[in-house]
Amino acid sequence: VQSSVGGRVAIIHVEENQNVTKGQLLLTLKNDAQKRQLDLSNLQIEISKNNVKDLETQLELTMMQIEISTNNVQDLVTNLKDIQRRLTDEQILYEQGSSTRSQLDAIKLEYNRGKLSLENSKLTLQRSKKEINRKQLALKNNQLSLERSKQDVALREETLEDTRLKAKITGIVTAIFFEEGEVIDPGAVLFQIINIEQVEIEVQVEEEDLPMVKKGQPVVFTTPSYRDKQFPGIIERISWSADSETGRFPLYVKAANPGLKLRAGMS
């Protein structure tokens, strides 16, 4: 079992000859810095989320303000047209002598005030439209920042996870190559784990016996450790060349190992 990152060994969670399952934690490297970086990245996510939420609220309020200002402008335009009509009528009456100067001036003043209110409302509407563009851009930037923060958290979590070495298979820890406190390099081999729930047995046969064996053939075998027990297996492959020392042909048998009786190195 190799480590993809370097660092100082903080805790070894298993012992030699211990049974482990796939995914079980074997070793933890010192990871205080990685934890701090992850905490900062998570904090940045919360900040970005709050910024996005605030900007969404502001954007909603600005859109409401635009709607109000638009309606206000429409009302003022209608009102100004009515005042202008009255002013035209009053001007005619004044010229005919049926109205006084003060009455005409009062309507003119009302018209000028209405015109000023309309201009102010148009300016307010224009400012609101500019503001909504600015806030939409700010919202988009903060949404992008939030996505970047999420990606950063995923990367930090992966970096932190790399400091926690886990078993890739179910088996037995046959060797531990480092101690707590030691510094390891990336790619260092830290554990040897052997899965012996199924084993491969090498058997050698004489040349004249080769015609009697074939791939996939069921066989039984024994070992000196369990002379009275027969183990069933299946021939997985047969070597094409003889052993240079014995002159026999190796064949390899795959067998189940109930009770884990068969061990590596047995004859």
225 close to 162: Cβ distance less than 8 angstroms? no
CATH number, residue 184: 2.40.50.100
How long is the chain? Answer: 267
Strands 191-194 and 171-176: antiparallel
Same domain, 156 and 37: yes
Domain count, the chain: 3
**DSSP assignment, residue 210?**
G
Please report which helix (H) or strand (E) contains residue 191, including its range.
strand 191-194
Same domain, 171 and 155: no
Per-residue pLDDT of the chain (267 residues; tens, 9 = 90+): 778 888 899 999 999 989 899 999 999 999 988 899 999 999 999 999 999 999 999 999 999 999 999 999 999 999 999 999 999 999 999 899 888 999 999 999 999 999 999 999 999 999 999 999 999 999 999 999 999 999 999 999 988 888 899 999 888 898 999 999 999 898 889 999 988 788 888 999 999 999 999 999 999 988 888 888 889 999 999 999 999 999 999 999 999 888 778 877 776
Same domain, 143 and 210: no
Range of the domain at 13: 7-29+163-191
Q: Centre a 10 Å sphere on the Cβ of residue 142 and count the other Cβ atoms it contains.
A: 20
CATH number, residue 206: 2.40.30.170
Q: Centre a 10 Å sphere on the Cβ of residue 107 and count the other Cβ atoms it contains.
A: 19
CA distance 165 to 188: 12
Please report which helix (H) or strand (E) contains residue 222, including its range.
strand 218-223
Same domain, 64 and 91: yes
Same domain, 72 and 94: yes
- What is the pTM (predicted TM-score) of this model? 0.57
Same domain, 254 and 168: no
